Structure 1
Amino acid sequence: MNTYSKEQGDVNATELRRKYTDRNLSAAAKALADEDAAYFIHQSLSTPVLNVLSRAEGIYIYDLDDKAYIDMHGNGVHAAGFNNDTIIEAAIAALRDKNTFTPRRYTNRHAVALAKKLVEITPAGLDRVLFAPGGSEAIEMAVMLAKQVTGKWKTISFWDSYHGNGFQASSIGGEELFKGGNGPMMPGALHVEFPNYYRNPWGFTTQEAVDDEIIRQMSILFEKEGDIACVIGEPVSATPIVPSPTFWVRVKALCEKHGALLIFDEIIEGFGRTGRMFACEHFVTPDILVLGKSLGGGLLPFAGIVANERFNVLQHRSIGHFTHEKNGLCSAVGLAMITYLQEHELVRQADEVGTLALQWLEAMKERRPSVGHIYGKGLHIGIELVIDKKDKHKAIADAEMVMYKAMERGIAFKIIEGNFITLRPSLLIQWDEMKLALEQIEACIQEVEEGLYYD
C-alpha cells in the first residue's frame, strides 16, 4: 500500500482526484490522460495528470474543451504571462537569425545582452553571471561556487524548503519526498526551521523570539559543526512565509562572521513576484542570487546565478560546464521577458494588485472560520486553512475539496504542505480579475465550511 506525502502539494491519486477527473474531463481529454499515464514514468505530483491543456495565454490556461482557468500557479514561469506575443516574436527572430545554440568556447550577442541586463537590474554588488539549463543546475552551481571560494563544504538550509531535484539540490532541500529511499545523500547538508511566526515548533508568539531561536541554532552549527560554506534559502518561502525585516540581516551578519556566503534562491520569487524586481530587495543583498523559471520567458527552460565580482576566481575549476550554457534562443527570450516587465511596469502592478489582494484576504480571514492565516508579499500569496483557529490543526481534506471546487469555477492553484492555498498568478493580472478569483475561492471555502463537500 503506497502512502502519499502532501508536504510538497496536492496528491494525484486520491479519491477526490478521481471524482474530479470523472466529472470534468471529456472523453477526448480522458483518452489523452490515459495515454499520458501509459507512457510516462509515474511519480508523485505528476502522474496521473489533473487535466489536459490545449494552450496557455496571458493569465489563463485552457483545457482540451477550451474552458479557461485563471492560473494561480504556472510553475512560476509566467511573470510576463503565458505565451506572451512580444517574447514569442523575440524567439522567432532568434530562430530566423539562426542565433540559437552556441557551442561552448563561443558566445553570442543575446547571451551577452542578457548577462549585462541582469547585472544592471540586480542589486549593487552582483556583477558576474552564469547560465544553466534549469533551476536545479543553477542551485548546484551556486553551492559549488560557495564551496570553492570559501574552501568549506557544509551547508545550512531550511526544513520544508525545495531547491530542485539534483543530488546536491535535493540534499539541501528540506523535504523527504525528494530524497527518501535514495540512501546517503550529500554529507554536510544541515537544516534549521524557517521563521514561521504563525506556526512554529516552540510555541513562540513573537517574531523576535522565533528569529532568536533560529539564529541561536545557526550559531551552534557554525561553531560546533564548522566548515559551513553557505546558508541557502528563499528570501520568502514558497508557502509563502515572509520573515521579519531583520531576520536575513542577522543571517548575513552571521555568515560574514564565520566566512560563509549567503545564497538566495529566487527561482520562484525573482522578476517581480513579491512587488520588487527581486525579493532580496525587501531584506539584504545576498552573495549569490539564483534565478530561473520566468527567466525562460514562459517558453523555455533557463536559469542562472548572479554573484559578486570577488568570486570570479575559478579559472582552475568548472562549475557550470553545460551544453546550453550560453544558448542564444533562451537568452533572447529572457531578455525580452525582462524588457516587457520594465516597459509595462509589471513589478509596480504586482505590488499594487498584491497589496489590494492581501488586504481583501485579511478581511476574508475575519469572515471565514477555517482561514487561519494569510501570508505573502506582492503576488506571492498563501492562505492557510485550519480546522479551528485556536488549535491550528491543518485542514488538509478541506483544502483539497476547495481546490477542486475552485477548478470547476475556473480558478486553478496549487496546494502546498496539505493545507496552504498558494496564489501566484501572472504579473499581468488586473485587480478586477484578481478580485474575481478571490471571491470564487472564498465561495468555495464557505461551501466546505457549511458541509457542502466535494462529492
Structure 2
Amino acid sequence: MSLPDEPPGQADRTEGDINLSDHRLAWQQANVNDATRETLERDSAAFLHQSLSTPCLTELTGCDGIYLSDATGRRTMDFHGNSVHQVGHAHPKVIEAVKRQLDELAFCPRRFTNQPAIELAECLAKLAPGNLAKVLFAPGGTAAIGIAMKLARYATGRHKTISMRDSFHGASLDAISISGEALFRDGLGPLLPGCFHVDWPSAAADAEAIEKILVKEGDVGAVIAEPMRCTTIDRPPDAYWRRVRELCDRHGALLIFDEIPLALGRTGRMFCCEHSGVTPDILVLGKGLGGGVMPMAATIVRADLDIVPKRALGHYTHEKNPVGAAAALATLDVIESENLLERSSKLGAETLERLRKLQQRHNAVTDVRGLGLAMGVEVSSPDTAERVLYDCLANGLSFKVSGGTVLTLTPPLTITDEQMAQALAILDKALGRL
C-alpha cells in the first residue's frame, strides 16, 4: 500500500477511485465554485481524512430518482450510489413510509418488539431462497457480517474461515480479517486468527483451493463470499458454487453469502445466489434494504441455526428499528409493484449488448460483462479509467471505478430507457475523447 506522500498504487485502487489523484484535482478546479470550496474546506477540517471519502469531491444538495444535485446546480446520473439505490433516490413510497412511521413509533428498545419489524422479518423469510427462515437485523452490512461470523462459530464450534482475496465484507476489524482488500487492512498488525484466503475463482476447478484448506485444516467453520464480485462484476461459474456447497456440506462448514450490494433485484433476481441455484446457510443483506434512506441490514439463516438463545449475536441499539423496517417494507413493495426484477433483467441484457457494441468502437475497452443492472466495463489502464470517470462526471454521469480498471455501472433499477441511452452516450463520448 502507498504511504501518504506516495502516488496511489494498485492496492489503493481495489475498492474504488482515489480521492487524492491529479485527475480529481483537475476536475475540482474546473467544476467547483468558491462557495463549494469553502464547504469542502469545512468538511476537511471537521472529519478524519481517509481514502474514498474526506477529502470529498463536491457538495450535494439533493437527490431524486437516478439523479444527484450538487451545490453548483449540476444534476448527475448516479450509477454508483454506494449500492443503496435499487429503487432510486428518495422514492416517494419510501419517504412517505418513513414519515408515517416517525409519527407512529420512532424507536423501539430491544426488549420490546413492533409490527413493522416483525412484518419485515416475515417478508424476508418468505422471499429468501431454500430453507432460510430466521432473521436478525443490524444497522449496517458490516454488523450483519459480524453476526454471521459469530453464529458460524456457535453453530460449528470452529473459528476458522475461508474467503476470497480482494473481496470486501466491511471495514470493522472482524470484517477486514475475512476481507482481502489491502486498502482496509494493511498496516494494522494482527487480525483475527484462522482466516484463510483463496484467489477469486474463474472456473469450477478453482474450488480445489477451498477443498485443500478444508482438508488440511479439518476444522474450518465457514466459507464466506459474494456470489458475484459486486465491484469488478466477476461471476464464477454456477458449477463452482455447486462444488463449494458440496464441500461445505462434506466438511461441516457453513456457507455464508454476502449479498449486501447484490440483493434486491440488482442482478435481475431478488437474490444473486438464485442464479446458481445454490442456497447458503446464512445470507447477509444491507445497503439498499433501507431504500437508500435508512441504514438497514439483515442476516437470514436456516431455522435450525436458531441455537444461541442465551448469547447475544447482535444486540444493536437499533436492532428492531421501526423506521428502518418501514423503509425496507416500502422498498420491497416498490420492487414488486414496479416489476423491478423483470426490469433489471431485461434492461440489463439490452444494455450489455449496447456496451459490447461500444467496446467494438473503442480500443481502450478490453472487456464488458454484467448480470442484470450490475455491469462492468474494463479498460486498459488505471489512468484511462480515471480519465473516463472525470470526463463523465463533468458531463452528468457518476459511477465507481473498481480494481483500478473497471468502470462499475450500477444504476437504479427504476431508470428509464431514455435515461440509460443518455448515460451510454456520455460514456461513449468520454471514451472517444481519450
Alpha-carbon distance, 1:363 to partner: 1.8
Q: Aligned residue for 2:47?
A: 40
Structure 2: distance between partners of 1:230 and 1:32: 45
Structure 2: distance between partners of 1:434 and 1:269: 20
Structure 2: distance between partners of 1:195 and 1:216: 10
Alpha-carbon distance, 1:368 to partner: 1.5
| Higher deviation after alignment, 233-242 or 130-139 | 233-242
| Alignment partner of 1:403 is 2:389 | yes
Deviation sequence 1:135-184 (CA, Å, 0-9, x none)? 10000001111111011111111011000011111110011111111110
Gaps of at least 5 residues in structure 2 are none
| Alignment partner of 1:231 is 2:223 | yes
Q: Aligned residue for 1:110?
A: 116
| Alignment partner of 1:342 is 2:336 | yes
Alpha-carbon distance, 1:3 to partner: 4.6
Q: Aligned residue for 1:219?
A: 211
Paired residues for 1:19-418 under 5 Å: 19-97=26-104, 99-196=105-202, 210-212=203-205, 214-238=206-230, 239-283=232-276, 284-386=278-380, 395-418=381-404
Structure 2: distance between partners of 1:177 and 1:188: 21
Contact 1:73 1:414 in 2 (8 A): yes
Structure 1: distance between partners of 2:317 and 2:70: 34
Contact 2:201 2:207 in 1 (8 A): no
What SS is found at the alignment partner of 1:246? helix
Paired residue type of 1:276: R
Structure 1: distance between partners of 2:106 and 2:287: 19
Paired residue type of 1:25: V
Contact 1:353 1:430 in 2 (8 A): no
Q: Aligned residue for 1:428?
A: 414
TM-score (ref. length: structure 2): 0.96
What SS is found at the alignment partner of 1:300? coil
Structure 2: distance between partners of 1:113 and 1:124: 19
Structure 1 residues 38 and 167 mapped into 2: Cα distance closer, same or farther (>3 Å)? same
Structure 1: distance between partners of 2:23 and 2:127: 45
Structure 2: distance between partners of 1:229 and 1:371: 41
Structure 1: distance between partners of 2:425 and 2:218: 51
Contact 2:343 2:413 in 1 (8 A): yes
Structure 1: distance between partners of 2:341 and 2:208: 35
What SS is found at the alignment partner of 1:127? strand
Deviation sequence 1:78-118 (CA, Å, 0-9, x none)? 11110111111101111111x12111111000000100110
Contact 2:233 2:408 in 1 (8 A): yes
Contact 1:268 1:293 in 2 (8 A): yes
Contact 1:365 1:373 in 2 (8 A): yes
Contact 1:297 1:333 in 2 (8 A): yes
Gaps of at least 5 residues in structure 1 are 197-209, 387-394, 449-455
Q: Aligned residue for 1:203?
A: none
Deviation sequence 1:246-267 (CA, Å, 0-9, x none)? 1111111110010111111000
Alpha-carbon distance, 1:27 to partner: 1.4
Contact 1:242 1:375 in 2 (8 A): no
State the number of aligned residues. 425
TM-score (ref. length: structure 1): 0.92
| Higher deviation after alignment, 243-252 or 267-276 | 243-252
Partner of residue 16 from structure 1, selected from 10, 13, 23: 23
CA RMSD of aligned residues (A): 1.0
Structure 2: distance between partners of 1:398 and 1:185: 35
Structure 1: distance between partners of 2:417 and 2:132: 33
Paired residue type of 1:370: A
Q: Which runs of 4+ in 1 moved over 3 A?
A: none
Identity of aligned residues (%): 40
Structure 1: distance between partners of 2:73 and 2:133: 45
What SS is found at the alignment partner of 1:216? helix
Contact 1:265 1:290 in 2 (8 A): yes
Structure 2: distance between partners of 1:253 and 1:423: 33
What SS is found at the alignment partner of 1:50? coil
Q: Aligned residue for 1:202?
A: none
Contact 1:71 1:411 in 2 (8 A): yes
Contact 2:17 2:52 in 1 (8 A): yes
Alpha-carbon distance, 1:121 to partner: 1.1
